[in-house]
Every structure is written in structure tokens, then in C-alpha cells.
Amino acid sequence: MDTTQRTDPSDLFSAKGLVIVITGAGSGIGLSFTKTLHSTSPHKIYALARRLPLLQSIAASLDPSGTVITPLECDITSPTSIAAAVSHIEKETGYIDVLINNAGVTGPDHRGIYEAGSIEQVRDVLLGEWEKWEATYATNTTAVVGVSAAFLPLLDRGNERRGWVNGKLGPGEGPRERKTVQKKEKGDEEVDMSDERTSQIITVASIAAFNRHVTAGFAYSASKAGAVSVGKTLATALAGWGVRSNVIAPGIYPSDMTTSAPKQFPVDKVPAGRQGSLGEIGGAVLYLVGKSGAYVNGDVLITDGGRLSVHPATY
């Protein structure tokens, strides 16, 4: 390690030149990601969600030129819809550098168990809205696998574009070879050979995955725990292929899911005393996406103002 080398924070924490896909990009944390990453000069951001008019409005506001943010209608629970988004991006850029699995739903509300006056009432709360469990898992857990799998070839091409020799490395093999990229195709981003990043999947879970206090519902907590497991397992499964996988587990941030949540909290609920901010969740994703996060793989980044430290939880 050369400790005499100067570091530039604006270079370390930046998405400059990257092609990024964000699901659930139209509101809440996904919109925060879109705004933050767009401010650091990415090559392209593909903003995916079901509400296309909303995405188009956001894109027009942030990117009047229409050259960076491309809104795409996509239902992440539909293999056909996912495949259409992949095909569109493949035709336009041919690769991606980062996939952010952000879309999520709350599912059935089980907070009523704490007001229940009898065991029968607890039973009724837990059995309520049973039909919503499947849809919750489909969005929060199953889609992480489906969307990640669908974009793997484009993530692999992102590595190849940077000069990394693709293909699987087995036990005892490596490090991965890298070819010098000398010629730049027209309209493509120049490759910085000092940049050690490889393609990456980032999955947005929740501290509900670890929190044993029900703050939304059993289905939400369980499905987000599943998302964490999927994200970590992908890191292991894809290690030989040179594709990284990390997880962000946010606490209470402004979003459609937290509209009824308080803006301030006592220290026994959230030691920071408040909800998180755009800059704080944006900083988390910039750390992972930027050169600063090039050595991070299989990690779970918790950003919750200390909430898990004062709740019954498991890490």
C-alpha cells in the first residue's frame, strides 16, 4: 500500500462513466439513488419501475437532455417484463456495471399483535391478509434472484469492457487476468486501467431482516431476510465469475412505506433521534458503487441511526 499516494474523495465516491440499472427508481430510496448517482456523471442510468409516467417526469426533471437517465417500465415479478428491459439495455449499451435491486413492498401488516388482548386475537392478526404473503415474497425476495440472473450476461460484459478476462475461475485459480484496453469505441466511456472495480449487484434489503420487533409485518421481515440471504449467497456463487454482490439494509428513511412513521424518535427507538436523509442513503450507495467500494464483496451495510442497537435483533 502506497501511503504517499494522494486520494481524491470526488473520484473515490463517484459513479462517473458507469452504466447503472436501478429497480424501484421512481420513489423513496430508489429515487434517492437516482438523484445521487446522477449528480456524479454516470454514463447511463436505467430507471426501472411499474409507473412509467412517474419515471418520465423524474427523468425530465433531473436530465432535461435525456442523454443519461432512461426510464423503463418494468414489473420485476414478470420474467417477460424483465427480459424486455434487459433486451432494451443490451441494444443500447451492450453492458452494465451495476445492478441495484431496490424495488420492494410492505406486505400484510402484523403490528396488531402488540395490541392483542387474547391469544385468539394474535392468531387472527397473523392469519389476516394471508393472500399477500406470496406477492410480498415475489417482489422482495424472488425478484432479487430473477432480476440478478437476467442481467448477469450484461454484468459479465461490463467486466469484459474493462479488460477483465471473463469466464469462471475455480478453486486455487487466479487472480483474474486483465487486458489493457487501448481502443475506445465511439460513444463509449474511456476505461481507466487503474480502476480495480468489477461489476456489482447491490440489493436493498432492510433492517427488518434482523429486527425481531415487528415494525411492519412478518412477511416483510422474512422476505427481507431472504433478500439478505440471496445477496450474500450471490457473492459466493458469483465469486468465480468476477461479479460482486453486496447488500444495503436501511433503517427508517423517507419513502412510500414510511409515510406514517414519525420524523423524530426517542433514543430508545432510534439513537440518532430521526429518520435518515437523502445524503446519508446516497452516501451509502456511492461508497459501494464508487472506487471506494472496489474491495467490498458479500457485505451487508446497515444504515439505521443505531436502531438495531436498541432493538432485539440478530446480525
CA separation for the pair 160, 178 (Å, rounded): 9
Q: Are 91 and 153 in contact (CB under 8 A)?
A: no
For CA atoms 215, 280, 302, 271, the dihedral sign is negative
Element (H, E) at 279: helix 278-289
From the list 46, 95, 220, 287, the catalytic residue is 220
Cell 425476495, residue located: 141
Q: How far apart are alpha carbons 140 and 234 in whole angstroms?
A: 15
Cell of 182: 487501448
Q: Is 220 a catalytic residue?
A: yes
Burial grade of 11 (CB within 10 A; 0-12, 13-18, 19 or more): middle
Q: Alpha-carbon distance 250 to 272, whole Å? A: 14
Strand partners, 46: 21, 70
Catalytic annotation, residues: 220
